[in-house]
Amino acid sequence: MTVVSFTTNSLINRQRVPTKQELLAIPWLALLSKSDYDYVLPEIKVTIAEEGDVICRIGRPVTYWFGVIEGLLKMSSDSKDGKTMTFVGVPTGGWFGEGTVLKREPYRYNISALRDSIVAGISIEAFHWLLDHSIAFNKYLMRQLNERLSQFIAAREVDRISNPEHRVARTLAGLLNPTLYPQIGNTLTITQQELAYLVGLSRQRVNVALKALEAQGTIRLEYGGLTVPDIKKLI
């Protein structure tokens, strides 16, 4: 995998200012006062993370707070025996790593792109400026951190589930979390292989589980993804 960050030449070459449409895809931006919005707007950078790129790597110092304008990332870690443990997927609309940015500590996980993705970021300095000046931003972060805790608890529970249908269902529920990913709605663009990476099962087993969930009426499989009529039925 190619290691990238907002300070490497490869990523700088792809870096640009966001479009108006991309700014609308940043959920916390609309919550800010005009003065806070005007301050942070020039601080927002956008880049393209190509499939396989590692955006954050374990042990590297934190420099940016990142979010997904469009695409799909995964948060993972490598165990001592060389196996990769996937914690969560981060779909469109998700911002992540706020705990690491708050503590200004090195990353304890890897973030990599499962497909070509548009990734936005603000510097750690801009993040802490908002923390010091914006009540709305603080409230957003509190909701994020609370929901993130629940997400990680659920992810650990998924690791203990042996039934493929239940594993897939719970993983889908995490990807459709309306608080962490408000722009997702109930339709998820994802391939079976991408889902297999996140669930930790083979693509074939994921395929069987998806068909079983569809037969139950829990999901509707569509070209390039799926729709969930009632997300609560996934839990």
Residue 172: CATH number of its domain: 1.10.10.10
- Number of domains forming the structure of the chain: 2
Q: Residue 83 sits in which domain range?
A: 9-135
pTM equals: 0.87
* Same structural domain, 13 and 120: yes
In terms of domains, do 74 and 14 share one?
A: yes
Residue 48 sits in the same domain as residue 128: yes
Per-residue pLDDT of the chain (235 residues; tens, 9 = 90+): 333 444 444 666 788 999 999 999 999 999 999 999 999 999 999 999 999 999 999 999 999 999 999 999 999 887 666 677 788 899 999 999 999 999 999 999 999 999 999 999 999 999 999 999 999 999 999 999 999 888 777 777 766 777 899 999 999 999 999 999 988 889 999 999 999 999 989 999 999 999 999 999 999 999 999 999 999 888 7
Specify whether 110 is located in the same domain as 168.
no
Closest by CA position to 177, among listed 99, 110, 89: 89
Domain end marker among 135, 169, 196: 135
Cα separation of 217 and 146, whole Å?
31
Burial class (CB in 10 A: 0-12, 13-18, 19+), 51: middle
| Residue 127 in domain | yes
183 and 94 fall within a common domain: no
Strand order in the sheet with 84-91: 54-56, 110-113, 72-78, 84-91
Which string of b and e fits 76-94 if b means at least 16 CB within 10 Å?
beeeeeeeeebbbbbbbbb
222 and 129 fall within a common domain: no
CATH no. for residue 93? 2.60.120.10
Closest among 30, 228, 44 to 140, alpha carbons compared:
30
